[in-house]
Amino acid sequence: MFALWLQISTTASTALTTTVTTSTSTTTTSATSTTTTTTATTETTTTSSMIIYTESFINSVTPSSQCTAWATFCNLLVTQSYMSLTMKGSTSSTGITLTNSTLVIAIANALHTNASYGPVSSDGYSWAVGICGSSGSNSYELTATGTVCSCTTGYTVRPCIGNQNWGGINGTTCGSASQTITVIFQ
Ligand SMILES: *[C@@H]1O[C@H](CO)[C@@H](O)[C@H](O)[C@H]1NC(C)=O
Ligand SMILES: *[C@@H]1O[C@H](CO)[C@@H](O)[C@H](O)[C@H]1NC(C)=O
Ligand SMILES: *[C@@H]1O[C@H](CO)[C@@H](O)[C@H](O)[C@H]1NC(C)=O
């Protein structure tokens, strides 16, 4: 119950609010007079602000467009009050979530600025950002295994590695079976 409440609360605090005003006019005509009544209805819709990376990776195939998409995603991770980071995919629809906002913001900043960070422990995992790949100083991976650029089993995404060891979700992170990997900041 507490965890559920926390989830709703964090989502709401990064929310964008859209206000839509709709006007309805009703015209009543009688034999003696015409009366027009206008009713304004204000509807507020709350949309959660999410920055999502989701790409398909193929066993034994070096990612290419997935690396370009990773660079685009990292560029979107501007400093803002992120409340959570989730790593999931086709092999685990639930995945794992880092809920310490301070750490989520620091990880977003590392990915955005092409910098190493961590490892830091929270929510049962050890999170880190670091270099791993052939694209030199811009080949950053995100891992929850505690070890950058290693084949440790767990949760890792390294789209710019330049070889077939692009990571994996809740399993081997080198030479993994084909799967979709999703990373969400919100
Ligand atoms: C990860 O895999 C293990 C073993 O296959 C499974 O028990 C566990 O529920 C999975 N965790 C998630 C978050 O999917
Ligand atoms: C979040 O992480 C920071 C840095 O490790 C720590 O100081 C803080 O206590 C953590 N907050 C929570 C709520 O665990
Ligand atoms: C980080 O690396 C990416 C990929 O090469 C690049 O597009 C981006 O401009 C770099 N960002 C910074 C802040 O250097």
Is 93 close to ligand 1, i.e. is its CB under 6 Å away? no
Q: Residue 156 is part of which domain span? A: 50-185
pLDDT in tens, 5-25: 333 333 333 333 333 333 444
What does the alpha-carbon distance between residue 55 and residue 68 come to, in Å, rounded to a whole number? 11
Q: Which two tokens stand for residue 102?
A: 């301070």
59 and 143 together in one domain: yes
pTM over 0.85: no
Task: Supply 116's token pair.
Answer: 């190493």
Q: How many residues does the chain have?
A: 186
Domain count, the chain: 2
Does 21 share its domain with 82? no
pLDDT tens string 87-116: 999 999 999 999 999 999 999 999 999 999
- Ligand 1 mean position to 90 CA, how many Å? 12
Q: Which atom of ligand 3 is nearest to the CA of 135?
A: 5
What are the residue ranges of helices labelled H in 14-88?
Answer: 65-76
Q: What amino acid is encoded at 108 in this protein?
A: A
